[in-house]
Amino acid sequence: MAVFQGWNTFSNPLSGWSAIGDSGAFGATRGADREPLVQLDGAISSSRGQAAGAVGSAQSGVQAILAGRPAIDRAVGDMRVAADRMIPIADTMRGEGDALFESGTRVTEQALDTLGTGMGFINMDASASPLVAEALKLYGEFDPDKYVASAKQDVQSQFDNARAQSERQLARMGVNPSSGAFANTASAYDRLRAVASAAAMTRAQERGLTDQANMFQNLITNNANTFLKTGGELASIGTSARAQGVNAQQGAASALGQAGGLYGSAGSLGLNYDRALQGAYDSLAGVQMNEARNTQSTEQMRVGAMNGGRGGVNIIDNTHHGNWRDTGTFFRT
């Protein structure tokens, strides 16, 4: 019995099987039997080369993704910094918006009160405001009827005084109060008093109407116009302030939305990177697993080919993880 002991390192696809069939008990006698085995060895070497290329490509993919990590980290950091800076801006805008809206609301309330006072002057409604009530009280002092009554009373008083003086003078002169002369004097005073009273009352009424008209213009019309104009201006200011407040609040909401979008984009970018890296590692693991299965399959095919072609060749396979090296003791009978 001839015995040959040889080494073969499966982890090196280029090592082939040069020790087998070239020396020992098989070299010269089995040359023709080596041809199928040589072809199988070539196919195995080619398959291993392709597998190694696939592994290298998968490893390159992993390295390319890992190389992009600094850029991803910078981009994520930049987005988060930008978002962090927008938060206080949004807070400021929201505070200013709240203040503007509140101020506009107060001005609007003042505008409504002012407009109400103006309408109170127009409607001469004392209940509209204390100012309108006071103005109407002053306006009432210029009532023409009061002017007429006052003028009549003044004329009456003047003529009564004059008549009394005249009667006293006649009495000193010895005129009898019941005489006709005395009666004629009294009658003359009454006529003069009536004429004077009528004239005074007419003038008083005219003056009362004029003063009342002037007072109406000053207290009612002018005040009404002033208050209505001022109320309108205040309403415009209040409305504008409220609108600006709303715009500021919307700007704050927009800034917060943008900040949230940046945070979300940063998170998505990081998550997508992690997914891509995990996918690359999974792909590499799959390629390595396929290579391992392919190696096992091709080695089994070669062992089968050797057993079938050598006639009675047995291989004892001792495979070690991480370094596939087989020690075979071959026996030929």
pLDDT of residue 176: 64
Q: Sign (positive/negative) of CA torsion 244, 250, 255, 258?
A: negative
CA distances from 193 to 167, 202, 246, 254 (A): 16, 14, 75, 87
Return the higher-pLDDT residue of 178 and 229: 229
- Rounded to the nearest integer, the mean pLDDT of the chain is 77
pLDDT of residue 235: 95
For the cut 50, the answer to whether the pLDDT of residue 65 exceeds it is yes
Pick from 125-134, 144-153, 232-241, 257-266: least confident = 144-153
Return the higher-pLDDT residue of 23 and 310: 310
CB-side neighbour CA atoms (13 Å) of 159: 20
For the cut 90, the answer to whether the pLDDT of residue 108 exceeds it is yes
According to DSSP H, which parts of the chain are helical? Answer: 31-67, 69-123, 130-140, 144-172, 180-215, 222-310
| Per-residue tokens: 51 | 């597998």
- Most confident residue range from 52-66, 87-101, 209-223: 87-101
| Spatial separation of the C-alpha atoms in residues 318 and 237, rounded to whole Å | 94
pLDDT of residue 257: 94
The 10s digit of each residue's pLDDT in 156-206 is 888 778 777 777 776 777 766 666 666 676 677 777 778 888 888 888 888
Closest by CA to 16, choosing from 24, 25, 6, 26, is: 6
pLDDT, average across residues 289-298: 79
Enclosing domain of residue 75? 1-333
pLDDT band, residue 262 (cuts 50/70/90): very high
pTM: predicted TM-score of the whole model, two decimal places: 0.55
DSSP per-residue codes, 34-59: HHHHHHHHHHHHHHHHHHHHHHHHHH
3-state DSSP call for residue 87?
helix
For the cut 80, the answer to whether the pLDDT of residue 42 exceeds it is no
pLDDT of residue 27: 42
pLDDT of residue 219: 83
Q: Using an 8 Å Cβ cutoff, are 332 and 26 in contact?
A: yes
Percent of the chain's residues with pLDDT above 70: 75
Q: Sign (positive/negative) of CA torsion 331, 16, 36, 290?
A: positive
The 10s digit of each residue's pLDDT in 307-332 is 664 443 333 333 333 333 333 433 33
Split into its structural domains, the chain has a count of 1
- Most confident residue range from 51-60, 165-174, 274-283: 274-283
3-state DSSP call for residue 172?
helix
pLDDT of residue 139: 86
Q: Residue 316, Cα to own-chain centre: how many angstroms?
A: 75
Angle at 92 between CA 86 and CA 95, to 5 degrees: 140
| Spatial separation of the C-alpha atoms in residues 139 and 137, rounded to whole Å | 5
The 10s digit of each residue's pLDDT in 1-19 is 333 333 333 333 333 333 3
